[in-house]
Amino acid sequence: MPVLDLASLGLLTLCNFIAMALVLPLAMGRHISPAARHVQRFFLLQAVTWTGMLLLSRLRGSPWEPALAIGTTVTIALGQITLSRALAQWLGPRPGQRWLLLCCLAGPLGFALLWPYPLQRFLWFSVVQGLGLMVLARMCLTPGKECAANWRWVLCGCALAVALALWARAALAWLGPTPLNYTSAAPANHAFIILCNLCCTLMLVAVLVAWRDETNQQLRELALTDPLTGLPNRRGFEERARSMLSHARRNALPLTVLMMDLDHFKQVNDVHGHEAGDQTLRLFSQLLQQHGRGSDLAARLGGEEFCLLLHGDAAAGQSLDQRLRTALRAATPSRLGRALDYSAGLAELHTGDADVSSLLARADAALYAAKAGGRGQLRGAAPITTQSLAFSA
């Protein structure tokens, strides 16, 4: 049975990474997320790293060896940082970023300072690089965003496997009878390169799955978002409102909904044009978000109809309505060149509301009462407590 020598195994690994670095941009296309860009750079850095490793095996003892070896450790560190940035984009802020940065700085720096001592520099960089991979493995856990678990576990397993292999190889170099370095024709190096080949293939599969999940999530967000204002649409509102309703009932919190309809909006489109109408909708949505709290849920339900769901009682809803009207009166003359007002209906959650739809239905009835009563005002739905509310702007 033929046995591949170390150089052949290294060349095979290099070819794998070069193929991945070339194929990923072609497969993903031009318009991709920052996370996908980081992944492409990661595989490119791996190709550069293995190119350096192969050159080192040919240039041992030459004047170029120190610069090439130190440069290779730098590309390894940059690869870890690049992969961590992709994880942060996919999973949200990651724990251990500072520790990883410290490992990526300490590894090449210590390797350079220990250059006169081959064994010590080999041990140092292997241990520190393994620590960096352990931090990367930890970053794959506990996502801050909704995502699939399968690809995270694959990346975590690859990082752990390579880290343990690095430490095992360092232990053999320290305790073994013969010196060991990155280019030694030793069984430990053969096993390490075979492991790297396996892990690079698994990592490619993992990042492609992660990229697919990210794309699906973006499509889902587009389906739940109003493209003009950036607010959730009716479907997006209903999905998030259900969780807010459950939270309010579990914790006995008040929950209030405001339904708002821009007054005489059809005239804006007819007289000033649809671009002016779009500008009006964008301005109102901006003010609605500015004067709501971070926990409030604002949405455009359709046309000129907006909605705001907040954890608060009817008085909190009335206060927000007053702030919004004040801001609207101040902003519209300069931003739109004309006045703008709206009618609103308010409903507070009570035990008779079976779900979000019944709460919205009561607020919608109050909105129609506000429009029938002369527009430009807030009306409360009955019953909210024991009496109906009627507010005037």
Domains in the chain with CATH codes: 6-223 (1.20.1070.10), 234-380 (3.30.70.270)
Q: Is the dihedral of CA 191, 195, 197, 198 positive or negative?
A: positive
Is a pLDDT exceeding 50 seen at residue 77? Answer: yes
- Dump pLDDT digits (tens) for 83-133: 999 999 999 999 999 999 999 999 999 999 999 998 899 999 999 999 999
Find out whether 25 and 40 touch, Cβ atoms under 8 Å.
Answer: yes
- 3-state SS class at 131: helix
Question: What pLDDT sits at residue 180?
Answer: 57
**Above 80 in pLDDT, residue 282?**
yes
When pLDDT is averaged across residues 379-387 and rounded to a whole number, the result is 59
Q: Is the pLDDT of residue 389 over 50?
A: no
Q: Measured between alpha carbons, how far is residue 365 from residues 113, 189, 322, 391 in Å?
A: 76, 75, 20, 14
Would you state the pLDDT for residue 182?
55
Q: Would you say residue 346 has pLDDT above 70?
A: yes
d(CA 29, CA 72): 29
Q: Structure tokens of 153?
A: 């576990």
352 pLDDT higher than 60: yes
Residue 388 reports pLDDT greater than 70: no
Average pLDDT over residues 49-65: 86
- How far, in Å, CA of 219 to CA of 234, rounded? 16
Query: Per-residue pLDDT averaged across 50-60, rounded?
Result: 85
pLDDT in tens, 140-151: 998 887 777 789
pTM as predicted: 0.71
Q: Is the pLDDT of residue 157 over 90?
A: yes
How confident is the model over 293-321, as a mean pLDDT? 89
Tell me how far apart the alpha carbons of residues 85 and 223 are, in angstroms, rounded to a whole number.
Answer: 27
Q: Is the pLDDT of residue 274 over 80?
A: yes
Contacts by 122-128, CB closer than 8 A, 24 or more apart: 122/170, 122/173, 122/180, 122/181, 122/182, 123/170, 123/173, 123/174, 125/73, 126/166, 126/167, 126/169, 126/170, 126/173, 127/166, 127/167, 127/170, 128/103
Q: Percent of the chain beyond pLDDT 70?
A: 93
Average predicted confidence (pLDDT) for the chain: 86
Please give the pLDDT value at position 353. Answer: 73
- pLDDT the model gives residue 384: 43
Confidence of residue 393 (pLDDT cuts 50, 70, 90): very low
pLDDT at 72 over 60: yes
Lowest mean pLDDT across 9-13, 44-48, 108-112, 307-311: 9-13
Structure confidence by residue, pLDDT tens digits, 179-237: 555 556 567 777 888 898 899 899 999 999 999 888 888 888 788 888 888 889 988 88
pLDDT given at position 139: 95
